[in-house]
Amino acid sequence: MTGHQEREPSLPQGEEKARAVRRLFDTISPRYDLVNRVMTFGMDAGWRRRTVRELALPPGSRVFDLACGTGDLCRELAAAGHRPFGFDFSHGMLLAARTHAPLVEADILRLPVRDESADGATCGFALRNVVSLADLFAELARALRPGGRVALLETAEPEARLMRLGHRVYFRKVVPAIGGLLSDREAYSYLPRSTAYLPAPNELLVMLREAGFTDPRRLSLGGGVTQLLVATRA
């Protein structure tokens, strides 16, 4: 996987990455929602609502929320009249979840579901945490029916130079400080660095096409600090 910025040599790879990510989220789960609200100035709630709207699915649709964490997107999906099902491999995050949706402890690269069993899928800020994005997109294509929709929310870097510089300072200096004050500084130092795992935006769209999705689009949110990938299962 080619990152959109130089790969940091200290970042774990393969199964080591999977173990590190699971430990990290187990550690920060008790105050995860609080830190999210503070470090995004509450904008993450609006981004999740936009994610659900961009699914463009009728009420009653069955939607899988991958890496569901504490259930933020599951709650938004339920509020929109959908039937959410959450999947996460962090036991700590599932214990901290606040949702009535059914939750399953599972690796999202190997979902315990039948082929074509969902109408849609969402994922919030977890693309950079999986071992293989290509495998994730292939698993999404397997789990969704033809015509099913995906809406995948992830961090991004603004295109404007000054915005990009300011965002880097905030993400790499301020976010770890907030995390250290409210939760775990080491974890919130790793999370900004983990953006190095992400391919460039155009590569993400190509990967979705190659996995079997049509009309992939990338929407820029929050002045470019967040991106939303939407596509339809062929």
Residue 198 lies in a domain: yes
Residue 3 lies in a domain: no
Q: 48 lies in which domain range?
A: 14-233
Least confident segment among 84-88, 192-196, 218-222 = 192-196
pLDDT at 162: 86
Q: How far apart are CA 85 and CA 174, in angstroms?
A: 34
> pLDDT tens, 9-23?
579 999 999 999 999
Residue 119 lies in a domain: yes
Arithmetic mean of pLDDT, 50-75: 98
Residue 5 lies in a domain: no
Residue 189 lies in a domain: yes
- Residue 225's CATH number: 3.40.50.150
Say yes or no to pLDDT of 130 above 90.
Answer: yes
Q: How far apart are CA 130 and CA 67, in angstroms?
A: 9
Count the domains in the chain: 1
> pLDDT tens, 28-62?
999 988 888 898 988 999 999 999 999 999 999 99
Residue 2 lies in a domain: no
Residue 68 lies in a domain: yes
Residue 216 lies in a domain: yes
Those residues whose C-beta lies under 8 Å from the C-beta of residue 223, and which sit 6 or more positions away, are: 158, 163
Token pair in block for residue 26: 């187990």
CB atoms within 10 A of CB 185: 15
